[in-house]
A and B are shown apart, each in its own frame.
Chain A
């Protein structure tokens, strides 16, 4: 589903290279965890996959279902099924949450040549998904993410993901700022989306989230490269021993 080949990327503004020859393959149905110390390029990788223009790809390629996505803008990537759950969801005053959800859903459908959802259909879907994530319907009446607590914002991200039904889900530190109950709810929401034709990339610092969203593969990112890959036991190993040994071995 996703194949990243020898990717090099830098910050557009000042040219700082963050991703330095990264290779990664994620198959349909797979849950891949990406771990790594601060500053290793984890969040940058998620932004690059979503098409954020603050970063420039200088070498290599990103293939999604066999096609390069480097020339696609963020909305096209989203409509093709790539979804990034943000580490810091953005508050947008004046944009009603429901209106935002409806426009996003229907613009994606339009892009894929599908019919727009009727309003009753749309509302029913939102209500069902919100109930599953224990989201208070009053929250949806507020402007997008405005005044949401940290946990509410993360749940709102998963709500968007559930509604948009992407094929490649990228969760950027979705566990940060969540208490254990909220973490379980969010993990349940993600697990509900696991399916043979969907891949999930979980970016996290901690093993804790991976107890609830159990990964098929674990990849360690360091200085913009994947320096070690393994199965879920690698995450336990990191939790127990830290990154130093792996980094030393890769050097």
Chain B
């Protein structure tokens, strides 16, 4: 076997390479940005999309799963919708184009296209590592997004909603966000689809939390049934910074949500809460890596997955504890409710611990609805379908209740209940 033999490109790979050739004249940025794009695309072309032989993509063979890529569709139309929580500031990206009208006060914002044009963005357009297919695709094609800075000491009273509305074609967005020291904010990254046409959406968010920042970042992914969604959140937590990352996947045909973080200041705390509502013939992957790089940092990760039909789900969670990161406390749990014999969930928790005075643990469970619970509810006059829906709801609601914002809890509960009603 000669490893240098060029692989035969798949339809999706060909479409991406062709799209680059067709688009490059219109993508914002020159010089260093352009050469960064060229490098990423050349890597994509050379390596192809990752297959199951690439360890971090073992359960999501992107090359096999991404069967086609829709063309860019500059004529497609999407408009802003009401924010999830009334009163939120909205930063909209409509079919991949940032809407720069009425930018909110209190935070420093500019479109990412500006950052690409003046070349600042060039430093962002690099691969995390060899296997960073999402960074590669996004970096090659990125067109817009928002660069956001929440100034030191700022407390945002109302949530900031990043609203990505897609009707067709492709969109590739980035959000470099800096939360200044001791700032407090709730950010909702919301992905919506407003048509049945297939879309490819990629998004990369790079979050920096300065010392003492306390941030809740919510990702609500509700893309269409034919959409591919490739997303990545990278974060860096300073001293005593607290990040709660809350992910709800309730849509999409092929979804990969990566989360990669490091704690770089003592006292930092990270919470990952994930709800995967999976139905139909879909594939959804949440892949998470966290480096506890300094002493005295904490993290907890709780995933709740509900699967119907022929859905496939994946959770990969890797926690690394650096040699001098003593007193790390990290706990990871992945609980799955399998409601169909044809559904499938793969959980791969990994702990790599190089320090000796730490508390780390992980657990994964797969369960069915508890028949005794079901009987008890029915014995009180609740019909079986309704009783089942209540129990499934209860399984995920425990996590939603952790959010302290009443309005947000209610809205998310309504979305979850509607999803369950449609799929149960």
Contact = CB atoms under 8 A, between A and B. Distances in A.
A74 B398 CA distance: 27
Interface in A67-109: 73-75, 78-79, 84, 86, 89-90, 92-95, 100, 103-104, 107-108
Contact of A104 (B372, B380, B384): B380
B383 A103 contact: no
A95 B377 CA distance: 10
A74 B386 contact: no
Interface in B339-396: 372-373, 375-384, 386-387, 390-391, 393-395
A78 B379 contact: yes
A55 to B, nearest CB: 11
Interface in A103-123: 103-104, 107-108, 111
Contact of A74 (B373, B375, B393, B397): B375
A50 interface: yes
Contacts of A51: 378-379
The 9 closest A-B pairs by CB, nearest first: A94-B394, A78-B381, A108-B381, A74-B378, A104-B380, A90-B376, A75-B378, A79-B381, A95-B394
Interface string B382-420: 111011001101110110000000000000000000000
Contacts of B379: 50-52, 74-75, 78, 84, 86
Contacts, number: 68
Contacts of A203: none
B373 to A, nearest CB: 5
A164 interface: yes
Nearest to B397: A94
Interface of A: 50-53, 73-75, 78-79, 84, 86, 89-90, 92-95, 100, 103-104, 107-108, 111, 143, 160, 164
Contact of B376 (A92, A94, A111): A92
Interface residues of B, number: 21
B365 to A, nearest CB: 14
22 contacts: A51-B378, A52-B379, A73-B378, A74-B378, A75-B378, A75-B382, A79-B381, A84-B379, A86-B376, A92-B376, A92-B394, A93-B398, A94-B395, A95-B390, A95-B394, A100-B380, A100-B390, A104-B382, A107-B381, A107-B382, A143-B394, A164-B381
A107 B379 CA distance: 12
Contacts of B383: 75, 107
User: Which of A53, A75, A78 has the most chain B CB atoms inside 10 A of its CB?
Assistant: A75
Given A74-B378, A93-B394, A94-B397, 15 more contacts: A51-B378, A52-B379, A75-B378, A78-B378, A84-B379, A89-B376, A90-B376, A92-B391, A94-B398, A95-B391, A100-B380, A103-B382, A103-B386, A104-B377, A111-B381
